[in-house]
Amino acid sequence: MRYLIILFILIFGLNTGFAQRKQSEVQTKSSLAIRYYNAKDYEKAMPLLKEVHQLTKSSTYFRYYLTCLIELKDYPKAEAEIENASKKQSQVRSEYLVHWGHILDVQNRNEEASEKFKEAINSIQTNRGSYLTTANAFLSWGEYDWAKQTYLKGREMLPGESFSYELARSYLYLRDYENMMEEYLNLLQQNESHLARVQSSLSSAMRLDIDNGLRDKFRGQVLARIQTEPQVIGYNRLLIWFFLQEKKFSSALRQSIALDKRTGEEAGQIAQLGDMALRSKEYAEAKKAFGYLMGKGEASEYFNQAFARNIHASYLEFVSEFKDDKTKGITLADEFEKGLNYLSYGPATLNLIQEYAHLMAFYLNDTEKALLVLEKGLKIPQLKPEEIGFLKTEMADIYVYADDPWEAMLIYSQVIDANKKNTLGDDVKLKKARLGYYMGNFSWAKAQLDVLKASTSKLTANDAMELAMMIGNNLNLDTTAVPLQMFAKADLLFFQNREHEAMQVLDSIADIYPYHTLVDDILFRKAKIEVEKQNYALAVEYLETIITDFSYELLGDDALFMQAEIYNYQLDQKEKAKELYKLMLSSFPGSVFIEESRAKYRELREIYPDKEPESNEGLFERAIENTEF
């Protein structure tokens, strides 16, 4: 028994070592083969791929090997390899016939190729896996119509299999959007659990939809299904998803509310829709969503959330569009007061407390009431240091607004001391340094900003670097710091919402020092002021001057990003915004705005695809990439 055990261990060890050596050999040769293959060095790739196929029996490597022979125009050898592979099988595999047909096809032996393709379809074993394998072989050679015929034959021969998803993909490659949509809708008809899969596939398809043909057909076909099959809720949810992709929040909300009245299960979707509208600055639609949820009654699980989000949406709408309307401001203040009385002062309402205080101080000029609101918030039991710092920071900002910089400086210091291990500490250090800049303590402010350039927060570090460089560039050029003092005064006035006075100071600098290096900074501040005054066209002009004449300066990327944002949200010229976000990617790859620009460019490209036509090769590669083998 002992000898048997030893013998078993020896045999097992030898087999394991052999298997490991074989696996290592396969990995080495396959890696080298694929490298040659991708470089289109088919002569070097061919023998390696043949060896790897012999070692692994993988159909993928066999197809790569055939591709090399085809590219080298060695068609007789390619056919011979298929014949040899077929002889080793008890039954000719249908995918071999597909490969054979393709080899005939590239030789323009079209009739013979068609016969082989037909033979392949007719020889498929009657199970789902065999139909999928054969169809994938057709897809791998770009024979999309034959893949479609394979799935249709499978549907006929296997009554329990619809192949709807696979057929939809084939129709996509054939640009037959109408039939593609029918198959996706058939999937939802069978089971709504396919919704996420259908949405993902349609999202990919819409990226290829250059002329909006798919979008037009989508609307018509989904609406027709909703009318003829109202019991299939998946159609409604797919239409809502589509409206959200198109940023048509009003249509999405209308559909969601109608569906909720039928099912009573859409509250979560409506809450999400409201948040999406907020992020897209569609405040009116966000308020409609939250208002509907509030209308479902206080017993609803979303009532408190909707109540708070509705006030938040009203605040953002006021700041963005109505900040000079004191009547609306007073009405909003009353909304905050009632809202906080209902929801109570607590950790969950800190954002509302901060916004209420900011409204009272910066827009209604009632700093006393604003400070009382914050002091009440600070009495909330068991607040964390960061939560206390959040409210105290707003308090310090209000003291800056009220021209009490020393009290503001003291409170900023308290927040920094209590928040040394989180990002709030760095954010407030920036505010404190900026206050020193407002007060004319330029050397001290710059020293603080230089330290902050190493902040873990990229945005804080970037803002610190910009202000430090602006101070450094303009403080050492003149024997007098008067221009920079005037500019800092304008910045303070701008912070205090005194835009008219800030503009007067900026104009004075331009008149007195017409060739000063602050010229691009002045243009940028003017653009910000015009945005606050909702003079967006004039703001764009100022920014365009910076982009055209001063792109090499520090504010080049800031100006371009701000211009893109104005076109995107205020002027509603989405395609123009898309082009500007795209320009940001190529012109300022190191900008702090690069990630946000990339995300927004991709988002807008979903709706407004780039006009460059996609090559057949690109379509093929993307089609194969998205195919489930």
Q: What is the CATH number of the domain that holds 573?
A: 1.25.40.10
pLDDT at 629: 29
49 lies in some domain: no
536 lies in some domain: yes
Q: Which residues lie below 8 Å from residue 239, measured CB to CB, with a gap of 6+?
A: 222, 223, 226, 255
166 lies in some domain: no
548 lies in some domain: yes
Select from 282, 292, 249, 190 the least CA-distant residue to 568: 282
Which of 25-39, 174-188, 594-608 bottoms out in mean pLDDT, i.e. has the lowest?
25-39
345 lies in some domain: no
Dump pLDDT digits (tens) for 173-193: 898 999 999 999 999 999 999
Longest dimension (CA), the chain: 105
The dihedral over CA atoms of 61, 67, 70, 74, expressed in degrees to the nearest 10, equals -20
Which of 138-147, 216-225, 454-463, 489-498 bottoms out in mean pLDDT, i.e. has the lowest?
454-463
Give helix then strand counts, H and E, for the chain: 33, 0
Q: Give the residue carrying structure tokens 């002569």.
A: 43
pLDDT at 460: 84
pLDDT at 617: 41
Select from 528, 609, 522 the least CA-distant residue to 561: 528
Q: Give the residue carrying structure tokens 């077929």.
A: 86
Average pLDDT over residues 455-469: 82
600 lies in some domain: yes
Give buried/exposed letters for 439-468 (b at 16+ CB in 10 A, else e): beebeebbebbbebeebeeeebbbbbbbbb
Higher per-residue pLDDT: 20 or 539? 539
Asked if 566 and 581 count as a contact pair (C-beta separation under 8 A), the reply is: no
Q: Judge whether residue 287 has pLDDT over 50.
A: yes
Select from 563, 507, 447 the least CA-distant residue to 555: 563
Percent of the chain predicted with pLDDT > 90: 56
287 lies in some domain: no
Q: Judge whether residue 222 has pLDDT over 50.
A: yes
Q: Write the CA distances from 565 to 88, 102, 319, 322, 543, integer angstroms.
A: 64, 51, 16, 19, 12
Whole domain around residue 595: which residue ranges? 518-618
Asked if 428 and 412 count as a contact pair (C-beta separation under 8 A), the reply is: yes
Asked if 228 and 268 count as a contact pair (C-beta separation under 8 A), the reply is: no
Query: Where would I find the H helices in 318-420?
Result: 326-343, 350-358, 367-378, 385-401, 405-418
582 lies in some domain: yes
Percent of the chain predicted with pLDDT > 70: 90
Q: Tokens at residue 244, please?
A: 């959200």
The span from the CA of 299 to the CA of 15, in Å, is: 68
Domain count for the chain, please give it.
Answer: 1
Tell me the angle at which helices 482-495 and 385-401 cross, rounded to the nearest 10 degrees.
120
Q: Tokens at residue 560, please?
A: 């371009």
